């Protein structure tokens, strides 16, 4: 490696001088790479690039360094002959990569030095990278955290996904209403994606089955008449912390098999000639912006099959590089299905093994069931994916045949184990007998997998006891729990450098890959000096967020106020409405009762509503209506501000979460499988106010009752009320003053939007069905919020609790989660580089 003294002594490199403030060898080396890319990519000296070009030049320089490691990592894994993991997900919410890659490669300080030496603003350039938003929310972000942990743990794990041209839509808010704008993250290309055209795969779709007879006289179905999609892979390198292992996320783009239909083109019908090209490329054009995709959407089905077919074809290709016998596939490969979206992989691998590799059915099924694991992410039966049989017959006729055969054999087995129970057979069948019939993808995933896990202890218990109890009774050994986790690299080190630095000074740098070391700050919670530093860090983060709010919304907020954040997808079960009811309650206390609040509060909302989800969009509208009244009413005397930050995405979360004092995790008990924002907030020293739902239960277990604010009905209580039909929300409206006052305010257009009765639906909905028990929890919630505000008045004690939250939530690192998956499901081991 070139040393600074060598370079400086020459006074110039390639004719360009080294600015004097750049002196460390690492920075000088990085500068050379960046300068080279400035010339090659933009044909200009680095000093003449604009900020958006600078980040690209820097990104390409970092990528250069990653490429060597990518190759070495692959060679190391191959030489070790270990198992590899294919993680299949329709969503990977990666976010921005440059800052994260700089830190993981140990180049962040060098980049700072380079930019400072050139009088460039590194932060400004980092802000210009578009988010790779190939996902909707928690499920996609979990997948991205998992890839980071796999690489950091030196485990051969690869993501397989779709290279959506248009990821999650950009949210604009006009007059309080959400507007969806297309977000093409690839408009200017991505410096990270490595195209692999030689490893493209061909994916057949549509067609029909010709029923024939094979040479031995047996039934031979021939799948003919299909169209071909071409899947072109693009690899996004995933660098583990320390830069030693670089895995990748393989994203497939769909292309037409024939670039141009030559006959049509020659005949002069150009539009028709490119028609097939347009249709093919539609497959990977758009991410469905909802995790509740309307059943029966053909394009979505094709997207799911496209992912699965590309992944299986690629996995088989890798396997055949070094192995020949498919019976040994489970020794070399584990495949994890992230939710049911890639569940067709079960049928696709069967199809491949039986139709192309020539295995007999039983041998193929033995392989398949040893390869797959399935992760469930929901407790709502209506959210379990299913596809109409006629649609599957149209798009994937051979797979439908295979699914029928899987089902036939499966039900035969169930009938043997549980004879005389046709209702059980009907419940467990992969085919729902209705008009039309449906294929139940969760059942397919469970039947085809050796492991079925939920994502938090309560969730996993409920999956086995309530969601699919028949399967859990049949195969108890399959069912297990793997509580979710988040990567401390992105969600602490990168997004909260102030706190990261404090932790490093306190317990050493090892915590970044061993979060358990953070427990070492627990005694420091009683140290006034440490608390002071901790509060200083939090204050700086809050000022940063306040600046963002001022710039985005032209609203001034007090950084000493309680920053109360609920940032997640907008959904009724997450109960942004409940939060808003409390806001209205506080507002009315201030302006009608003349009371003061114990502490000033800034209530921060952010999140997107699925475009077709009317109620969610109305909630956004109501938030804005309430915010407008609250923020301009001088009678609030600065005690209350309401903020809705538009276009919630990973990069925005990285600014909001480190600044939060209070984390709202207030879903109706029994609805949130896990939640992961709760973990991110806890890592960053926010206290949780939450129901006993999802991962909140485990957070409470770890941080202690004194350091979390729990409220609300428990899952069993909710179930009991539902079962007995004993929930009458109108009674709460009638007998609880808070509920009455708040709902009347909404009903009576206290928050007008120029349309009388615009929010009448809130009153009607919450006093009639109130499916998510808002009114049942409202009194407890408002009382608990009062406790929160009172607690916040004692800033020292609040800081102590916040420190304990950081110290005691190390279990929620995705490194722990991945180790558990690796040990208990995948049989995957770390393959670190040799020392020396």
Partner 1 sequence: METVGGVTVVELLGDSLDATNADGISEQLTHLAARHPKLIVDLGRLVFLDSSGCGVLVTAQKRCREAGGDLRICQPTGRVKTVIDIARLGRVMGIYPSCEQAIASFNP
Give the residue numbers marked as catalytic: 377, 568-569, 574, 676, 680
Residue 566: φ, ψ to 5°: -130, 100
Residue 786 binding partner 1, by CB under 8 A: no
Considering only CA atoms, which of 343, 135, 309 is closest in space to residue 230? 309
Q: Name which position in 269, 331, 356, 532 contacts partner 1 (CB under 8 A).
A: 356
Q: Name which position in 20, 198, 215, 435 contacts partner 1 (CB under 8 A).
A: 215
Residue 360 binding partner 1, by CB under 8 A: no
Residues sharing a CB contact under 8 Å with residue 412, sequence separation 6 or more, in sequence order: none
Nearest CB to partner 1, comparing residues 205 and 442: 205
**The one segment of 224-232, 360-368, 404-412, 669-677 that binds partner 1 by CB under 8 A:** 224-232
**In contact, 672 and 574? CB cutoff 8 Å:** yes
Which three-class secondary structure state does DSSP give residue 645? coil
| Count of residues touching partner 1 (by CB under 8 A) | 23
Residues 498-517 that bind partner 1 (CB under 8 A): none
Q: Name which position in 10, 184, 220, 295 contacts partner 1 (CB under 8 A).
A: 220
Would the CA dihedral through 788, 791, 793, 797 be positive or negative? negative
As a 3-state breakdown, the chain gives helix, strand, coil percent values, each rounded to 5, of 55, 15, 30
Cβ burial of 782 (10 Å; 0-12, 13-18, 19+) is buried
**The one segment of 112-120, 207-215, 432-440, 752-760 that binds partner 1 by CB under 8 A:** 207-215
Q: Name which position in 43, 79, 174, 213 contacts partner 1 (CB under 8 A).
A: 213
CA distance 90 to 162: 6
Helix (H) or strand (E) holding 133: strand 132-134
Please count the residues of the chain: 836
Residue 548 binding partner 1, by CB under 8 A: no
CA distance 70 to 194: 11
> Could you give the angle at the alpha carbon of 143 between the alpha carbons of 235 and 67, nearest 5°?
30
Residue 274 binding partner 1, by CB under 8 A: no
Where in 257-364 does DSSP place strands (E)?
A: 333-338
Nearest CB to partner 1, comparing residues 172 and 356: 356
Residues 41-60 that bind partner 1 (CB under 8 A): none
Q: Name which position in 44, 48, 202, 760 contacts partner 1 (CB under 8 A).
A: 202
Quick note: the x/- pattern for partner 1 over 447-486, rule CB under 8 A, is ----------------------------------------
Maximum Cα–Cα distance for the chain, whole Å?
90
Residue 361 binding partner 1, by CB under 8 A: no
Nearest CB to partner 1, comparing residues 262 and 793: 262
Residue 225 binding partner 1, by CB under 8 A: yes
Residue 421 binding partner 1, by CB under 8 A: no
**In contact, 135 and 141? CB cutoff 8 Å:** yes
CB of 232 to partner 1, least distance (A): 15
Residue 662: φ, ψ to 5°: -130, 135
**The one segment of 30-38, 261-269, 634-642, 822-830 that binds partner 1 by CB under 8 A:** 261-269
**The one segment of 62-70, 200-208, 446-454, 807-815 that binds partner 1 by CB under 8 A:** 200-208
CB of 210 to partner 1, least distance (A): 7
Where in 448-600 does DSSP place strands (E)?
A: 451-454, 479-481, 562-567
- CA torsion 118-124-128-131 (nearest 10°) is 120
Q: Name which position in 160, 192, 223, 781 contacts partner 1 (CB under 8 A).
A: 223
Nearest CB to partner 1, comparing residues 121 and 263: 263
CA distance 417 to 204: 38
Nearest CB to partner 1, comparing residues 74 and 221: 221
CB of 361 to partner 1, least distance (A): 14
Q: Name which position in 41, 173, 226, 741 contacts partner 1 (CB under 8 A).
A: 226
**The one segment of 139-147, 203-211, 430-438, 491-499 that binds partner 1 by CB under 8 A:** 203-211
Tokens of residue 336, six digits: 């994890």
Nearest CB to partner 1, comparing residues 273 and 660: 273
Residue 228 binding partner 1, by CB under 8 A: yes
Nearest CB to partner 1, comparing residues 204 and 520: 204
CB of 342 to partner 1, least distance (A): 20
Nearest CB to partner 1, comparing residues 356 and 769: 356
CB of 334 to partner 1, least distance (A): 25
Residues sharing a CB contact under 8 Å with residue 772, sequence separation 6 or more, in sequence order: 572, 573, 575, 668, 671
CB of 225 to partner 1, least distance (A): 5
Residue 204 binding partner 1, by CB under 8 A: yes
Q: What is the CA radius of gyration of the chain?
A: 28
Nearest CB to partner 1, comparing residues 355 and 470: 355
Residue 404 binding partner 1, by CB under 8 A: no
Which three-class secondary structure state does DSSP give residue 666? coil
CB of 223 to partner 1, least distance (A): 6
Nearest CB to partner 1, comparing residues 207 and 520: 207
Residue 263 binding partner 1, by CB under 8 A: yes
Residues 124-183 that bind partner 1 (CB under 8 A): none
What does the DSSP 8-state code read for residue 598?
A: S
CB of 222 to partner 1, least distance (A): 5
CB of 230 to partner 1, least distance (A): 11
End-to-end CA distance of the chain: 17
Nearest CB to partner 1, comparing residues 87 and 223: 223
Q: Name which position in 327, 355, 393, 780 contacts partner 1 (CB under 8 A).
A: 355
Quick note: the x/- pattern for partner 1 over 301-340, rule CB under 8 A, is ----------------------------------------
Q: Name which position in 50, 214, 298, 412 contacts partner 1 (CB under 8 A).
A: 214
CB of 410 to partner 1, least distance (A): 23
Where in 666-818 does DSSP place strands (E)?
A: 687-690, 709-710
Q: Name which position in 21, 45, 212, 752 contacts partner 1 (CB under 8 A).
A: 212
Residues sharing a CB contact under 8 Å with residue 78, sequence separation 6 or more, in sequence order: 322
**In contact, 111 and 122? CB cutoff 8 Å:** yes
CB of 260 to partner 1, least distance (A): 11
Which three-class secondary structure state does DSSP give residue 29? helix
3-state secondary structure 557-570: CCCCCEEEEEECCC
Which three-class secondary structure state does DSSP give residue 670? coil
Report DSSP letters for 162-206, one per residue: E--SB-SPEEEEETTEEEEE--BTTTT--TT-EE-GGG-EEEEES
CB of 214 to partner 1, least distance (A): 4
Residues sharing a CB contact under 8 Å with residue 339, sequence separation 6 or more, in sequence order: 89, 90, 139, 375, 376, 377, 378, 385
CB of 332 to partner 1, least distance (A): 21
**In contact, 66 and 192? CB cutoff 8 Å:** no
Q: Name which position in 109, 172, 210, 522 contacts partner 1 (CB under 8 A).
A: 210
Give the HSE-up count for residue 71: Cα atoms under 13 Å, Cβ half-sphere: 5
CA distance 261 to 273: 5
Q: Name which position in 4, 13, 222, 411 contacts partner 1 (CB under 8 A).
A: 222
Residues that bind partner 1 (CB under 8 A): 202, 204, 207, 210, 212-215, 220-226, 228, 257-258, 261-263, 355-356
């Amino acid at each position: 490696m070139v040393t600074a003294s060598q370079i400086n002594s020459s006074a110039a490199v390639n004719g360009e001088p080294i600015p004097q403030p750049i002196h460390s060898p690492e920075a000088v080396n990085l500068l050379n790479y960046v300068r080279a890319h400035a010339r090659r990519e933009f044909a200009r000296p680095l000093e003449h690039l604009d900020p958006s070009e600078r980040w690209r030049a820097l990104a390409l320089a970092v990528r250069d360094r990653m490429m060597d490691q990518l190759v070495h990592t692959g060679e190391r894994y191959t030489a070790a002959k270990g198992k590899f993991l294919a993680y299949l997900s329709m969503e990977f919410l990666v976010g921005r990569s440059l800052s994260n890659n700089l830190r993981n490669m140990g180049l962040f300080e060098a980049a700072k030095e380079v930019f400072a030496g050139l009088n460039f603003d590194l932060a400004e350039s980092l802000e210009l990278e578009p988010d790779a938003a190939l996902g909707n929310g928690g499920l996609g972000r979990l997948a991205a955290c998992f890839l980071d942990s796999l690489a950091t743990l030196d485990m051969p794990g690869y993501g397989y996904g779709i290279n959506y041209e248009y990821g999650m839509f950009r949210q604009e808010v006009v007059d309080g209403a959400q507007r969806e704008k297309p977000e093409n993250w690839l408009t200017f290309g991505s410096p990270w994606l490595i195209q692999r055209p030689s490893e493209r795969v061909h994916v057949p779709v549509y067609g029909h089955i010709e029923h024939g007879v094979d040479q031995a006289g047996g039934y031979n179905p021939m799948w003919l008449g299909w169209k071909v999609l071409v899947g072109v892979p693009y690899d996004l390198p995933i660098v583990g912390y320390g830069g030693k292992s670089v895995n990748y996320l393989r994203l497939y783009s769909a292309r037409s098999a024939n670039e141009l239909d030559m006959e049509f083109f020659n005949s002069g019908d150009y539009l028709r000639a490119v028609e097939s090209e347009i249709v093919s490329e539609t497959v990977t054009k758009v991410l469905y912006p909802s995790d509740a995709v309307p059943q029966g959407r053909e394009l979505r089905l094709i997207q799911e099959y496209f992912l699965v077919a590309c992944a299986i074809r690629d996995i088989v290709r890798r396997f055949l590089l070094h192995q020949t016998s498919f019976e040994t596939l489970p020794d070399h490969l584990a495949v994890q299905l992230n939710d049911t979206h890639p569940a067709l992989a079960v049928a696709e691998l069967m199809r491949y093994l039986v139709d192309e590799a020539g295995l007999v059915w039983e041998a193929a099924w033995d392989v398949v069931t040893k390869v797959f694991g399935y992760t469930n992410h929901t407790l709502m039966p209506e959210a379990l994916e299913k596809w109409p049989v006629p649609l599957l017959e149209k798009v994937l006729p051979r797979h439908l045949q295979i699914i029928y055969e899987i089902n036939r054999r499966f039900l035969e087995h169930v009938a043997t184990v549980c004879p005389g129970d046709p209702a059980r057979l009907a419940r467990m069948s992969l085919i729902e007998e209705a008009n039309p019939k449906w294929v139940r993808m969760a059942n397919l995933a469970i039947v085809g997998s050796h492991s079925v896990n939920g994502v938090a202890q309560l969730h996993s218990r409920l999956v086995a006891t309530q969601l699919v109890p028949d399967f859990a009774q049949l195969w108890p050994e399959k069912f297990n729990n793997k509580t979710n986790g988040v990567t401390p690299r992105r969600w602490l080190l990168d997004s909260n450098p102030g706190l990261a630095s404090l932790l490093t000074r306190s317990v050493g740098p090892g915590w970044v890959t061993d979060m358990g070391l953070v427990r070492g700050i627990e005694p420091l919670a009683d140290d006034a000096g440490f608390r002071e530093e901790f509060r200083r860090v939090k204050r700086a983060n809050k000022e940063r967020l306040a600046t963002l709010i001022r710039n985005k919304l032209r609203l001034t907020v007090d950084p000493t106020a309680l920053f109360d954040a609920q940032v997640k997808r907008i959904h009724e079960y997450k109960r942004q409405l409940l939060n808003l009811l409390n806001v209205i309650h506080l507002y009315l206390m201030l302006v009608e009762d003349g009371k003061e609040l114990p502490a000033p509060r800034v209530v921060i909302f952010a999140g997107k509503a699925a475009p077709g989800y009317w109620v969610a969009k109305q909630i956004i509208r109501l938030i804005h209506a309430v915010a407008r009244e609250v923020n301009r009413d001088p009678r609030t005397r600065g005690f209350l501000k309401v903020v809705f930050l538009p276009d919630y995405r990973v990069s925005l979360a990285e600014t909001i979460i480190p600044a939060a004092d209070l984390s709202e995790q207030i879903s109706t008990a029994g609805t949130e499988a896990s939640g992961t924002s709760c973990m991110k907030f806890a890592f960053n020293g926010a206290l949780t106010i939450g129901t006993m739902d999802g991962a909140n239960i485990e957070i409470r277990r770890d941080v202690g009752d004194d350091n979390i604010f729990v409220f609300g009905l428990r899952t069993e209580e909710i179930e009991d009320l539902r079962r007995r039909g004993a929930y009458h929300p109108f009674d709460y409206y009638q007998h609880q003053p808070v509920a009455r006052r708040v709902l009347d305010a909404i009903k009576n257009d206290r928050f007008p939007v120029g349309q009388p009765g615009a929010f009448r639906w809130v009153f009607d909905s919450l006093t009639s069905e109130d499916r998510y028990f808002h009114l049942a929890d409202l009194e407890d919630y408002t009382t608990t919020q009062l406790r929160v505000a009172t607690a916040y008045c004692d800033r020292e004690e609040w800081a102590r609790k916040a420190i304990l939250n950081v110290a005691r939530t190390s279990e929620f690192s995705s490194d722990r989660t991945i180790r558990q998956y690796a040990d208990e499901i995948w049989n995957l081991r770390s393959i670190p580089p040799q020392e020396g």
